[in-house]
């Protein structure tokens, strides 16, 4: 039995289909990442899961309870972190923790024990009296996560928890998540960062409200079709256009260079003439390992066709 099961979920705003027949499942203690660019419908999906929006159709079940009817019974076991930092900026770190703990009836010795445990991960203890509004972006997110964890939830729903957070804080953040995952907490999160997918157990690629694909990080990168080469030259838009005019070849910017993707049954020699004509020495193309981003773009372009 899956801990979370979302089936055929749809939600429209007027004519815009924000979520289109979306289904996924999460096992207990599993981390599922929903990955997609801005506007893919990630936040809408999270708000639907947290009963903050009502779906047009489809069902969401968590711990064998229907979110539409049984959300009140789910509240105790749910920890939610919205996309925008939504704690009280004029209250201190500790006051925010006390407030959220109080709502769940976590008080006294139990609260102090829980607080110190969370401070151990978040390193926020020295800032306990600082106002939340004066924290850095990374500290804010760690505080929000601590508030979402203060009542020992069984499922965490995190909407872009690491967006705009510095690399060190991101790493600490993921360490906290791994610790709670070990304790059996089920985690559903969204991220626009492809590199974070590797830290999840499974990921769903989403675009335009639809699910492109899902799988473990290995399965996703393994699903890349064709051969990938990288070219270490600063590409002009014109060059990309000329390369893309070559049949069976796609190219796009990658970092400061280019990634060139060749259909599976072709070798670089088959297009060397065309490459030279486009102004690229085929000898400069180096075989490359497809990353999460390459897979995502390839899937996105396929659905676009």
Residues found near another protein in the complex (CB under 8 A):
50-52, 72, 75-76, 78, 80, 82, 84-91, 95, 98-100, 102-105, 107
Residues 6+ apart with CB under 8 A from 182: none
| CB of residue 99 to another protein, shortest distance in Å | 5
Q: 85 by DSSP, 3-state: which?
A: coil
| CB of residue 17 to another protein, shortest distance in Å | 23
Q: Which of 92, 291, 256, 81 is nearest to 177 (CA)?
A: 81
| CB of residue 77 to another protein, shortest distance in Å | 10
Q: Which of 174, 171, 179 is nearest to 158 (CA)?
A: 174
- At 7, give phi and psi (nearest 5°): -130, 125
| Residue with tokens 């801990």, as numbered in its chain | 3
| CB of residue 187 to another protein, shortest distance in Å | 16
User: Of the two residues 50 and 177, which places its CB atom closer to another protein in the complex?
Assistant: 50
Residues 6+ apart with CB under 8 A from 108: none
| Residue with tokens 């051969």, as numbered in its chain | 227
User: Of the two residues 86 and 303, which places its CB atom closer to another protein in the complex?
Assistant: 86
User: Of the two residues 131 and 252, which places its CB atom closer to another protein in the complex?
Assistant: 131
Sheet containing strand 257-262, strands side by side: 249-254, 257-262, 227-231, 286-287
User: Of the two residues 50 and 258, which places its CB atom closer to another protein in the complex?
Assistant: 50
User: Of the two residues 151 and 202, which places its CB atom closer to another protein in the complex?
Assistant: 151
| CB of residue 105 to another protein, shortest distance in Å | 5
């Amino acid at each position: 039995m899956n801990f979370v099961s979302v089936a055929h979920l749809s939600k429209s705003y007027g004519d815009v289909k924000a979520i289109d027949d979306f289904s996924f499942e999460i096992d207990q203690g599993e981390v599922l990442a929903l990955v997609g660019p801005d506007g893919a419908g990630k936040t809408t999906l999270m708000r639907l899961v947290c009963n903050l929006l009502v779906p047009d159709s489809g069902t969401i079940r968590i711990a064998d309870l229907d979110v539409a009817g049984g959300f009140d019974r789910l509240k105790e076991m749910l920890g939610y972190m919205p996309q925008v930092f939504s704690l009280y900026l004029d209250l201190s770190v500790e006051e925010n923790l006390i407030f959220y703990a109080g709502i769940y009836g976590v008080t006294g010795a139990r609260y102090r024990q829980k607080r110190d445990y969370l401070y151990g991960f978040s390193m926020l203890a020295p800032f306990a009296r600082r106002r939340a509004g004066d924290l850095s972006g990374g500290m804010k997110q760690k505080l929000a996560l601590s508030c979402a964890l203060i009542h020992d939830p069984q499922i965490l729903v995190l909407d872009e928890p690491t967006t705009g957070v510095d690399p060190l804080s991101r790493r600490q953040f993921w360490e906290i998540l791994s610790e709670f995952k070990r304790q059996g907490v089920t985690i559903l999160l969204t991220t626009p960062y492809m590199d974070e997918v590797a830290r999840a157990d499974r990921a769903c690629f989403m675009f335009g409200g639809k699910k492109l694909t899902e799988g473990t990080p290995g399965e996703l990168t393994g699903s890349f079709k064709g051969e990938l080469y990288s070219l270490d030259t600063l590409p002009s838009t014109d060059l990309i256009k000329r390369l893309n005019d070559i049949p069976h070849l796609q190219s796009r910017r990658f970092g400061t260079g280019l990634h060139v993707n060749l259909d599976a049954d072709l070798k670089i020699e088959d297009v060397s003439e065309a490459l030279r004509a486009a102004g690229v020495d085929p000898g400069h193309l180096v075989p490359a390992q497809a990353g999460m981003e390459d897979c995502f773009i390839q899937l996105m372009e396929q659905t676009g066709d």
